[in-house]
Structure 1
Amino acid sequence: MFVERLCEGGELLDRILSRGGRYAEEDAKHIVVQILSVVAFCHLQGVVHRDLKPENFLFASRSEDADMKLIDFGLSDFIRPDERLNDIVGSAYYVAPEVLHRSYSLEGDIWSIGVITYILLCGSRPFWARTESGIFRAVLRADPSFDDLPWPSMSLEAKDFVRRLLNKDYRKRMTAVQALAHPWLRNDSRPLPLDILIYKLVKSYLHATPFKRAALKSLSKALTEDELIYLRAQFMLLEPDNNECVSLLNFKTALQRNSTEAMRESRVVDIVNAMEPLAYRAMDFEEFCAAAISTHQLEPLEGWEQIASTAFEHFEREGNRVISIEELARELNLGPSAYSVLRDWIRNADGKLSFLGYTKFLHGVTVRSSNTRHH
């Protein structure tokens, strides 16, 4: 028998309405932190909720600072590490673009949290139309407005936070844990939870070619303090030996500490099995940074050009070597049809990657499969 705890405080939606349609920035932060914390835990277990909206958050009591509970897991699903879901579910106003393209994962929940945060802060929806198809069109094509009141009086951090959740490219969105580390919400006295993303990125890094790893190492040397705060916290959650190195055992133990039945169902454990190369060596913090960063997430940052050019300077000194078009195509899993594009990435003078080539190589070329094309 399944027993649901009684939540006497009512829905988040009712609280928003009772406050005249929106929250003050400081009060909104308290709500958003709770939402992100529960979703970060779900995502670590490999559970995607798929219907995050103010009606599905209930307050435990009527007090102003009551804890919130997430309800209605009827549409939620277990997701395997590299799986993409394809059924369109959820509520129109909160649905992410990639859900409409029928190829999505945990990031769809993050988009919904972006919509909720937008509503909390200004009282109106970022995407609106009279019909469901109109809403879907807006989600796919329109950008949320930050010009109308009360946005001009809001902090730059709040606007940046919402923008980084409502990025139409799901790869560029922050995870729930990264959002908790964002300057708008960051609180040194509140420890960050473990982020499932680092497992996925480290797994990819371990299976990458030496050339790709050299490119990522250079990128990691150009990170700003904001990015390093998150990475340092994640590294420490793996409890490095003598605070210096982590091995496969550290990654396994950290996951076990957070393990529930759901995690076994979702096969999150499969990620650790794919990290087998770490069984025979250890990773220091410098290499962990190279392994646990996502180029896609860095690209929307205001300082991306500066990060990229600093990274390229490191790459020129340490990792840039002569590379043929054929080898570059192999690095990117591309066939001969891509040679004409890749030619522009290699300098004629010395046969090494140019700055353009370096940034494009880091980004990677995605060949979209037919089922994710714009409908």
Structure 2
Amino acid sequence: MGQCYARNVPVDGEGGGGVVTTTTTTTISVSASAAGEEVEVGRGGGGGGGRRSGRPSPAGTPRRRGATPARSSVAGSPWAGSPLPEGIAPSPAPSATTPRRFFRRPFPPPSPAKHIKASLARRLGQRSPATAQAQQAAKPPAEVPIPEHGGGGGAAAGEVERELDKSFGYDRHFAAKYELGKEVGRGHFGHTCLARARKGDMRGQLLAVKVISKAKMTTAISIEDVRREVKILKALSGHSNLVKFYDACEDALNVYIIMELCEGGELLDRILSRGGRYTEEDAKVIVEQILNVVSFCHLQGVVHRDLKPENFLFSTRDDHSPMKIIDFGLSDFIRPDERLNDIVGSAYYVAPEVLHRSYSTEADMWSIGVITYILLCGSRPFWARTESGIFRSVLRADPNFDDAPWSSISPEAKDFVKRLLNKDYRKRMTAAQALSHPWLRDECRPIPLDMLVFKLIKAYLRSTPFKRAALKALSRAITEDELIYIRAQYNLLEPSSTDGRLCIENFRMALLQNSTDAMKESRALDILNALEPLAYRRMDFEEFRAATISPYQLEALSRWEEIAGTAFEYFEQEGNRPITIEELAQEMNLSSAAYSIVRDWIRPADGKLSFLGYTKFLHGLTMRSSNARRHH
């Protein structure tokens, strides 16, 4: 049996300015006595239904940590050799890690890492040392063979493994089509090699091949992991900022994923080569590329779940080389209103709601906020010496915007980062909204279609006339700055040329024009069913503006009080009316237990909503979502 443990691996890196020269990569590992394998935080167990629901996977199945694709091993490459001592597995970035900063104040227990470690142990069918010793003392070991990975009954476990269908239906002529070269990257469940195409249109072209051993696919979940990674890569391939997928092959021993070779190195290495940080203008170029590809993924219903500088590679070594997102090993399909609840990702970039086990695409936006923070100042926004300290920092600490070099960074850039690193995921910008933020705004660059619009329209159509009046008043109070995004989304839906209005066909066609096979897998098109009322009426821009306004996101703005005050004045003129406590509770779908709360929101003088009541009514009373996927 194995146990969870943490290890800090020191890595030397060069830094300047705000960069600490000696950094530490913190991993949570799981040791298996027979296999001696390790997994990162969030890499434990999972795939298919297991990875979505957080249900413990069969014993002995650490989350697949695939080798990074498309890594070149030419002279001077950061992957030419590992600087770590013999016997120590390399981190995701062998040459260096992202810069760090020190927190001066301690964080009290309990440690959020405890349940993460316990979850990893459960997924691997392992126990903590204390539990194992107590059980061993209480009961002598049974005199039967112990399964290598902690399954139940040796013969039965062996039979289950033998019954697994490891045939993927991929092309079985890999050796005839590709000449495999030297290894350029290695993970726990596979490695990446250089390859050259032997035939066809790509004959002679250098490629990257991710080789995944079938021997390590010991459960149906780990097999589904591979299927989904290939499915996502195939469906999304073609975007200019996404690693290109060419082919998938298999033989009796391995699965081979053939992709383009990116020879420009990791984003992390470029950050370090620049002394630890980018200039604002250069950072904009990087962040725009990240947002473009992430907005594409999110519209298709794919959440990456492991965005970090190590997972972005440059096509060439040129300074202006395009950047590609890689490694969809932890990615998953997600429906528009769905919440995931398994803990995956990398500790420094993980969002607070992931640690709370209820998250969606907003978790990727948090990770982009962390990356942008690092690009601009050269240090991590959340850092600690231990993995539990990192998680406490993510959950409780606020990023430092006071120390150098933030004083020399523009207010727009700081506002951009703050709106992504908001611990309330409802207040974060989407990728499409981030591209319309003043820091990145470019009239020559189109803003992509945003699934958030469809979700907000769905909620609006289900709301009461009183709630619609409140939203209409709020929409009239926003400035032209906020209207840029809304107008762009309205125009993307191509309103009627005769009356400038929208119907359900506009929404359907907008999605279908952007549809890929991934959108079908994620069932993103199902949201159109909730927009069925628009089959019988049309929506003009004024109503669209009211429907697509987000009180949560507006509350994150520094001028929220001013916006809310102006909105309340409009509401007093056109929408406010006398309302009883019972009616207000019913409007908000609250039980009688909430009467004492909503009573304070109604003015005794005229029975109408007060300013406090108006703002509370816009937000609603929320409890922790119970929509996270569960298996029963």
Give the 3-state SS of the residue equivalent to 1:187 in structure 2: coil
* Residue in 1 that maps onto 2:489: 234
Change (3 A) 1:369 1:258: closer
Counterpart Cα distance in 1 of 2:466 and 2:301: 31
Name the aligned partner's letter for residue 141 of structure 1.
R
**Alignment partner, residue 93 of structure 1:** 348
- Structure 2 residue 450 is the aligned partner of structure 1 residue 156: no
What residue in structure 2 maps to residue 67 of structure 1?
322
Distance in 1 between residues matched to 2:583 and 2:428, nearest whole Å: 31
Find the counterpart in structure 1 of residue 470 from structure 2.
Answer: 215
Rounded to whole Å, the distance in 2 between the matches of 1:12 and 1:173 is 24
Structure 1 Cα separation of the partners of residues 330 and 379 of structure 2 = 25
Q: For 2:297, which of 42, 47, 53 is the aligned residue?
A: 42
1:9 corresponds to: 264
The correspondence for 1:318, drawn from 557, 570, 574, is: 574
Give me the CA root mean square deviation. Answer: 1.1
Which amino acid letter does the alignment assign opposite residue 42 of structure 1? Answer: C
Mapped partners of 2:535, 2:319: distance in 1: 49
Match of 1:332 among 585, 588, 600: 588
Structure 1 CA distance for aligned equivalents of residues 305 and 624 of structure 2: 23
Contact kept, 8 Å, 1:222 with 1:310, in 2: the verdict is: yes
Equivalent position of 2:389 in the other structure? 134
CA–CA distance in 1 between the matches of 2:625 and 2:476?
Answer: 34
Tell me how far 1:270 sits from its aligned partner: 1.0
Q: 5 Å matches for 1:250-329? A: 250-329=506-585
Preserved contact between residue 308 and residue 371 of structure 2 (Cα < 8 Å): yes
**1:163-201 deviation per Cα after TM superposition (whole angstroms, max 9, x unaligned):** 000000000000001000000000001010001100000
The alignment status of 1:355 with 2:583, answered yes or no, reads no
Higher strand share: 2
Give the superposition deviation at 1:81.
1.7
Unpaired stretches in structure 2, ≥5 consecutive residues: 1-247, 249-256
* Residue pair 2:295, 2:431 contacting (<8 A) in 1 also: yes
SS in 1 for 2:324: strand
Query: Does structure 1 conserve the Cα–Cα contact (< 8 Å) formed by 2:339 and 2:627?
Result: no
Q: C-alpha displacement at 1:368, in angstroms?
A: 2.2
Q: Which secondary structure does the structure 1 equivalent of 2:259 belong to?
A: coil
Tell me the equivalent position of 1:112.
Answer: 367
Task: Give the greater-gyration-radius structure (CA).
Answer: 2
Counterpart position of 2:434: 179
Bigger RCO (CA 8 Å, 6+ sep): 1
CA contact (8 A) 2:554 2:560 kept: yes
* Contact residue 578 and residue 607 of structure 2 kept, 8 A: yes
TM-score, length basis structure 2: 0.58
1:55 aligns with 2:310: yes
CA contact (8 A) 1:95 1:112 kept: yes
- The whole-number CA distance in structure 1 between the counterparts of 2:556 and 2:462 is 26
For this pair of structures, how many residues does the alignment match? 372
Distance in 2 (CA, whole Å) between partners of 1:25 and 1:247 is 41
What code does the residue aligned with 2:505 have? L
CA apart distance, 1:371 = 10
Letter in 2 for 1:193: P
How many Å separate the matches in 2 of 1:347 and 1:328? 13
- The equivalent residue for 2:454 is 199
CA distance in structure 1 between the partners assigned to 2:261 and 2:594 by the alignment: 59
Unaligned stretches of 5+ in structure 1?
none
State the TM-score, normalizing by the size of structure 1. 0.98
Post-superposition offset of 1:328: 0.6
Whole-Å separation in 1 of the counterparts to 2:381 and 2:303? 22
Give yes or no for contact 1:102–1:371 (8 Å, CA) kept in 2. no
Once the two structures are superposed, residues 210-243 of structure 1 have per-residue CA deviations (whole angstroms, 9 ceiling, x without a partner) of 1111110110000111110000000000000127
Rounded to whole Å, the distance in 2 between the matches of 1:186 and 1:69 is 22
Amino acid aligned to 1:248: I
Larger helix proportion, structure 1 or 2? 1
1:370 Cα offset (Å): 7.9
Question: Tell me, what secondary structure is at the counterpart of 2:307?
Answer: coil
Amino acid at match of 2:622: T
CA contact (8 A) 1:6 1:60 kept: yes
State the SS of the aligned residue for 1:69: strand
Q: Secondary structure at the match of 1:245?
A: coil
2:171 corresponds to which residue?
none
